[in-house]
Chain A
Amino acid sequence: ETGVTQSPTHLIKTRGQQVTLRCSSQSGHNTVSWYQQALGQGPQFIFQYYREEENGRGNFPPRFSGLQFPNYSSELNVNALELDDSALYLCASSLTGAYTEQFFGPGTRLTVL
Chain B
Amino acid sequence: AQSVAQPEDQVNVAEGNPLTVKCTYSVSGNPYLFWYVQYPNRGLQFLLKYITGDNLVKGSYGFEAEFNKSQTSFHLKKPSALVSDSALYFCAVRALSGGYQKVTFGTGTKLQVIP
Contacts and interface: CB of A to CB of B under 8 A. Distances in A.
A92 B90 CA distance: 15
B49 A42 contact: no
Given A98-B96, A102-B46, A104-B44, A45 B104 contact: yes
Given A43-B90, A99-B51, A33 B103 contact: yes
Contacts of A42: 4, 90, 105-108
Contacts of B101: 48, 55-56, 98
Interface size class of B (residues with CB under 8 A): 20 to 34
B13 interface: no
Contacts of B108: 41-42
Contacts of A55: 100-101
A104 B49 contact: no
Contacts of B45: 104
B69 interface: no
A107 interface: yes
A44 interface: yes
Interface in B27-48: 32, 34, 36, 41-46
Interface of B: 4, 32, 34, 36, 41-46, 49, 51, 90, 94-96, 100-108
